[in-house]
Structure 1
């Protein structure tokens, strides 16, 4: 990733990514307020998370396939505004079906954004997993800011003030425009993207996708109920729940940066494998350890789940070098959003038993992801007869814009 214009483009894309992922984090952050103001059950509240996730899960691979055929940069500002509008409107109606519809609208906006944004970020970074880490960091920061934004807006005036939550979408939509202009200036007619140097490895991509599903179930399950669970484990009120969510999301920002740096020293598969193994212990601590140590284990869980995040995106793109949009749509979309499908099940178990019992199965998710990664190859690893390619600005990986 050389040159100031390219650096500026990645920064703008990262900030725009933050403005979009605020709305993924906002869904879980709104759950305690839905329970308090509308007397939703755990299952009903988690249904809102499901509504945001379900259409997003289905739509993101479709948008990814479309971006493999046609460049659609206009999707970035349009989808940002759509994601913000859905969350902003979710608090203005007392109707549960309408609340679900607005949450689903936001999910579609998020779905439309990620495949094209990941394609554009890969073009701007020339395939660098380090640069993709910075792009992913923007989304993690957006997640981290979501509970603070919701607390400032909704806790002070109730759900009726939710239309104010559209402000990040307005900012993100504006920020997309100079980033796209800068990218267009560096890819004028006559410049061609590097052709893929490898064939698609569909088997490895399927195993990678299943591992991301396991990560998604663990992360979404925790983010949906963590604010409520923090009350029980720490004895605190609403501030304790908000603090737990901030730690979960902000720790992800740290984990993403650490993951990119570790991958420059070891290969991505090895880094992800060890991260998931350590996350098993961290999630167990969240579920079983009470008191102030609870927040320590939340931070460790967050870092452990986010170290693999951007690395899995670039692994998916490298396993499917001829279908970068599809790979991005699945690793950033279907397999991530599908975790929301488990939320109503966890909510039903919590209603019937307790939150702790409902969260215990989440300990197994990073263990399953670790098992799936044990047999995954590092894309582009040379055979014994071939010399290793020198490390370059893309972190030692072959450069490929698509």
Structure 2
């Protein structure tokens, strides 16, 4: 790692940093992503506790999940676009601080209204750091963009997976009101980002919104297909994460057993993303995305009709396969619209997730009318539908092979 003076030097581009320095920056950004998504995920393992404390239906729980996700996800492409000209390190660190302080206090909420307020305010911080972190990762990645993006995105995935485990350990010794004890993780990481991540060159171009014509131009079709696929895949993850603990209660399993299923599924998603990022540097990315979607269906369809041990194994397999294409989606979107890299990162990481969370409400209503098991079984169809969206895409060569592939994607995306 370079000195503090070097870290604060303006206009330092990732391509100028040494390999070791780049790796250190990417790992620190991944740690920040881990911390931020850890706080964003604290609600999910506490859903059953809040249901019992506030007498909430499954549909009401889905609405609360929407409040937080609409705040932190819908605003990501907006913040990503309008903050393009600011130092991305500062945007990332400030967003992480907001998420840390506010979301670690959700256990103190005296009722569902205050819980919704905290989720909405904390979501603003999450919306700030996500796109800026993706842009910084791309700038410091060097030639291995797929692997670097997988490290960054799966830092967040690991944070998401750690949340239910940490909550389980906390609830064994304390109550949900003590969630503020998790705050030091984010405070320390944000401080490290401020101190050690180099400043980046701000764009000298005035910030312009993409023209509507460019959004409906035939060259934008690939981006929309990738976006729709990400929405459907994200919806599958959201439904499982939101209903698996409730499903466990319906099956007569304990809350700890339900949180174990949730933790295992989310950790497998993180591992699958890392593997997928590595493979995407060497394999055709379209085929990798298709394989991730179609091969995830069998284990995710069967997981809700077997024993606890069987469900654990199937969720690990399904989560890993489904997440193989997670980092690929972001890199492809950035290549399609390189002049709006931060905004496109927000679209794929934030807006797609936000749309998927809105679509969670019908699954919550289905769970109220029938059972969580039925809703989860229906969600198993979503990865296959996501794969169908990707069939019209052209081949997407691996990133370590011809650079002309990225240039042709950029030309198609920016045309019009």
Structure 1 residue 304 and structure 2 residue 321: aligned? yes
Distance 1:350 1:271 in 2: 32
What does residue range 30-49 of structure 1 map to in structure 2 within 5 Å? 30-49=46-65
Aligned to 2:31: 15
CA deviations over 1:137-165 (Å, ceiling 9, x no partner):
21111111111122223443222212223
Deviation of the 1:56 alpha carbon: 2.2
Superposed CA RMSD in Å reads: 2.8
Distance 2:37 2:301 in 1: 27
1:339 alignment partner, one of 347, 356, 361: 356
Deviation of the 1:389 alpha carbon: 9.4
Aligned to 1:172: 189
Deviation of the 1:397 alpha carbon: 5.5
Aligned to 1:194: none
Distance 2:135 2:86 in 1: 11
1:96 alignment partner, one of 112, 117, 129: 112
Distance 1:42 1:116 in 2: 34
Structure 1 residue 377 and structure 2 residue 387: aligned? no
CA deviations over 1:302-345 (Å, ceiling 9, x no partner):
11221111111101111111210111000010002322212332
Distance 1:75 1:389 in 2: 28
1:260 alignment partner, one of 263, 274, 277: 277
Deviation of the 1:20 alpha carbon: 0.8
Distance 1:76 1:389 in 2: 26
1:74 alignment partner, one of 74, 85, 90: 90
Aligned to 1:362: 379
SS of 1:322's equivalent in the other structure is helix
Deviation of the 1:395 alpha carbon: 12
Contact map agreement 2:68 2:123 (CA 8 A) in 1: yes
Contact map agreement 1:28 1:224 (CA 8 A) in 2: yes
Distance 2:305 2:220 in 1: 38
Q: Given the two structures, how large is their TM-score scaled by the length of structure 2?
A: 0.84
Structure 1 residue 57 and structure 2 residue 67: aligned? no
CA deviations over 1:140-191 (Å, ceiling 9, x no partner):
111111111222234432222122232322122123124423x55xx699xx
1:207 alignment partner, one of 225, 228, 234: 225
The runs of at least 4 consecutive aligned structure 1 residues that moved more than 4 Å come to 394-401
1:225 alignment partner, one of 229, 243, 247: 243
- Larger deviation: 204-213 or 158-167? 158-167
Deviation of the 1:68 alpha carbon: 3.4
Distance 1:81 1:221 in 2: 28
What does residue range 385-400 of structure 1 map to in structure 2 within 5 Å? 391=401
SS of 1:308's equivalent in the other structure is helix
- Larger deviation: 296-305 or 170-179? 170-179
SS of 2:56's equivalent in the other structure is coil
1:159 alignment partner, one of 173, 176, 182: 176
Deviation of the 1:112 alpha carbon: 1.1
Going from structure 1 to structure 2, the CA distance change for 1:155 and 1:38 (only over 3 Å counts) comes to farther
2:153 alignment partner, one of 129, 136, 157: 136
Where does structure 2 lack aligned partners over 5 or more consecutive residues?
Answer: 1-14, 204-213, 411-416
Deviation of the 1:113 alpha carbon: 0.9
Q: Given the two structures, how large is their TM-score scaled by the length of structure 1?
A: 0.87
Distance 2:312 2:173 in 1: 25
Number of aligned residue pairs: 381
CA deviations over 1:255-299 (Å, ceiling 9, x no partner):
012102322331111101111001111210123333411111111
Aligned to 1:276: 293
